[in-house]
Amino acid sequence: MPRGNNKDYSAKMTENLKKALTEMLILSFLSKKDMTIYEILNILDKQSGGICRIQYPYGVIYRMSDRGYIEIAGKAVSDDRRRIHYRITDLGRDYLARIRDEYLAFSKGMNMILDYVESIGNTDQ
């Protein structure tokens, strides 16, 4: 009998995948234009159908800033809120290229395995 709740495990897996991909996604947006975190989060949420909703992005932002991958491009005040625009650095572009290549290679390998498993059919018969 399986232990634990499969729904909880699935949610944890989704959360771990989001954590693993968050830097790549944020850097991808910033490679196109300077943006606020709010803008990025809204696009991620909308374009993923809510699957890629990131609750606490600032840890990732501070870590990427500390590593020199992003920097503040400017600050603005609107509606009594301070908006910080971030931009990707050259170091961030290099890092993005590496992690994107790794992601694509890993995804391709996983798809090849899953396609192979599908092709061998059901062995329980």
Q: How far is the C-alpha of 40 from the C-alpha of 6, rounded, in Å?
A: 31
Residues 6+ apart with CB under 8 A from 56: none
Q: Is 79 left (phi over 0), alpha (psi -120 to 50) or beta?
A: left
Those residues whose C-beta lies under 8 Å from the C-beta of residue 59, and which sit 6 or more positions away, are none
Q: What angle do CA 91, 106, 119 make, to 5 degrees?
A: 165
Q: Hey, how many other C-beta atoms are within 10 angstroms of the C-beta on 3?
A: 4
Domains of the chain: 6-120 (1.10.10.10)
> In the prediction, which pLDDT does 80 show?
77
Q: Token pair for residue 86?
A: 């971030």
73 three-state secondary structure: strand
Question: Each residue of 18-63: pLDDT tens digit?
Answer: 888 999 999 999 999 999 999 999 999 999 898 888 888 889 999 9
For residue 70 the two structure tokens come to 């992003």
Q: Which pLDDT value is given to residue 1?
A: 45
- Per-residue pLDDT tens digits for 68-110: 999 999 998 877 788 999 999 999 999 999 999 999 999 999 9
CA distance 86 to 61: 9
